[in-house]
């Protein structure tokens, strides 16, 4: 059962970060397998299990960090991994079936890495058992929301009778699986750096991550960062009025340069603030959009409308990520390489580039064509399977996770 107090929002202002920290402190006092809080506890008699480092099945046989992201999409009649109509966590932006998408094939493609790699099946209850008492936070833009809601659906499908509570305030959403003491969070920060309300308007501060935000992030056991999709937006969708680079405040600047400046600030924050013995940091690669058919071998198309299948072999082997997304991916990798702490890079760009069929298009609760975000169920489930697999394969010393 899901008990919730929730709302949606976009952008991030540093004035709300302190309130988010206070909310998290209150949440921490009431989270744990022995303190289920409100709502119906579907597993009140669950026996706690002592976990050992390295225990559990589901190894990603034959996989390595080099080949997880190289492969193809294969049709699998056992997919999707859950019924989206039964998931209470999907927002109107991503609920394609609810808003009239007529085809179903896009739901039944599974990511298959090459080189004899077999990804383990996502086992939601095992994930929760091994995450007992921990907090995972997605930090980023609306693509982070995409992945966050997908993960909640995957977990809900496995433990639908569990006591799940939801709390939400501007820029921070939390779902807590009370029977396991596991909190999955979304902190909305489109640019990872601060936006500050000043007399002149909203100022994007490329060299600033506030103390309140920093305190919040440092409390996490797992952080999954993402930023890219909002950096080139203009007009009403632009999340700021001015941009500050050092001491210079201007109405605009080269967006790729601004993006790189923000990534440098984020990298310095990780270097200075993350205790690698406590917190595992992931960074998710840029998620591609599909508004130019030339990029997937169909010159003349200007959006993803009517696309019902991925790019499949042999065509997939000739398809490369290009343009600004390629530059963004390189900038992200450069920022990660500058950090001495181990950062786990979820390189989902190329495999997502093949999924021209996976977007809401006109089938969402928004009055616009969307070839940027992804349907749920759909492509973000593969991102989370790769996140799950990466966690399985890590020799964590700070927690007996898998």
Ordered mean pLDDT values, 10 residues apiece, the chain (402 residues):
50 49 52 38 31 34 70 96 98 98 97 88 93 97 98 98 94 97 98 98 98 97 98 94 98 98 99 96 98 93 96 88 94 97 95 98 95 99 95 54 34
Residues contacting 149, CB < 8 A, separation 6+: 89, 90, 91, 94, 376, 380
Q: Is 245 a catalytic residue?
A: no
Exactly one of 142, 150, 173, 287 is catalytic; which is it?
A: 142
- Which domains does the chain carry? 2-35+73-392 (3.40.50.1110)
Residue 172 contacts residue 178 (beta carbons within 8 Å)? no
Half-sphere exposure in the Cβ direction for 47 (13 Å, CA): 2
Could you give the count of Cα atoms lying within 13 Å of 99 in the half-sphere of its Cβ?
21
Rounded to whole angstroms, the Cα distance separating 80 from 186 reads 24
Is 373 assigned a catalytic role?
A: yes
Catalytic residue among 189, 190, 373, 381, which?
A: 373
pLDDT value of residue 64: 58
Q: Provide the whole-model pTM.
A: 0.86
What is residue 184's predicted lDDT score, i.e. its pLDDT? 99
pLDDT at 320: 85
What distance in Å separates the CA atoms of residue 179 and residue 158, rounded to the nearest whole number?
13
Q: 142 an active-site residue? A: yes
Q: How far apart are the first and last CA of the chain?
A: 27
What pLDDT score does 20 carry? 55
Q: pLDDT value at position 29?
A: 47
Q: DSSP letters of 181-193?
A: TEEEEEEE-TTSS
* Residue among 95, 179, 221, 370 flagged as catalytic: 370
Looking at the DSSP assignment, which residues form a beta bridge with residue 135?
Answer: 183
pLDDT score of 105? 97
Q: What is the pLDDT of residue 394?
A: 65
């Amino acid at each position: 059962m899901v008990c919730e107090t929730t709302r949606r929002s976009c952008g991030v202002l540093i004035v709300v970060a302190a309130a988010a920290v206070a909310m998290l402190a209150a949440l921490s006092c009431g989270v744990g397998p022995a303190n289920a809080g409100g709502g119906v506890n579907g597993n009140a008699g669950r026996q706690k299990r002592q976990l050992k480092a390295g225990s559990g099945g589901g190894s990603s046989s034959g996989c390595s960090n080099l080949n997880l992201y190289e492969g193809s999409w294969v049709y699998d009649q056992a997919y999707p991994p859950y019924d989206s109509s039964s998931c209470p966590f999907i927002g109107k932006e991503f609920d394609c079936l609810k808003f009239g998408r007529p085809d179903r094939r896009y739901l039944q493609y599974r990511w298959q890495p090459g080189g004899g790699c077999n990804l383990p099946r996502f086992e939601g209850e095992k994930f929760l058992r091994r995450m007992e008492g921990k907090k995972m936070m997605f930090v980023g833009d609306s693509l982070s929301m995409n992945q966050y809601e997908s993960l909640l659906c995957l977990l809900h499908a496995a433990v639908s009778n569990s006591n799940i509570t939801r709390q939400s305030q501007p820029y921070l959403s939390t779902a807590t699986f009370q029977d396991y003491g596991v909190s999955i969070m979304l902190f909305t920060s489109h640019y990872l750096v601060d936006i500050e309300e000043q007399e002149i308007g909203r100022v994007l501060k490329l060299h600033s991550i506030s103390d309140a935000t920093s305190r919040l992030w440092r409390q996490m056991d797992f952080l999954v960062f993402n930023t890219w999709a909002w950096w080139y937006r203009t007009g009403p969708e632009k999340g700021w009025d001015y941009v500050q680079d050092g001491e210079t405040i201007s109405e605009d600047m080269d967006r790729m340069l601004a993006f790189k400046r923000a990534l440098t600030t984020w990298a310095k924050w990780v270097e200075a603030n993350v205790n690698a013995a406590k917190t595992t940091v992931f960074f998710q690669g840029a998620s591609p959009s599909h508004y130019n058919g030339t990029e997937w071998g169909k010159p003349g198309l200007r959006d993803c409308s009517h696309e019902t299948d991925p790019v499949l072999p042999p065509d997939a082997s000739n398809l490369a990520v290009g343009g600004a997304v390629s530059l963004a991916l390189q900038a992200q990798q450069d920022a990660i390489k500058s950090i001495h702490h181990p950062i786990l890079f979820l390189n989902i760009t190329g495999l997502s580039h093949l999924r021209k069929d996976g977007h809401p298009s006109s089938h969402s609760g928004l009055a616009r064509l969307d070839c940027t975000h992804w349907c749920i169920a759909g492509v973000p489930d593969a991102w989370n399977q790769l996140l799950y697999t990466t966690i399985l394969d890590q020799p964590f010393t700070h927690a007996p996770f898998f």
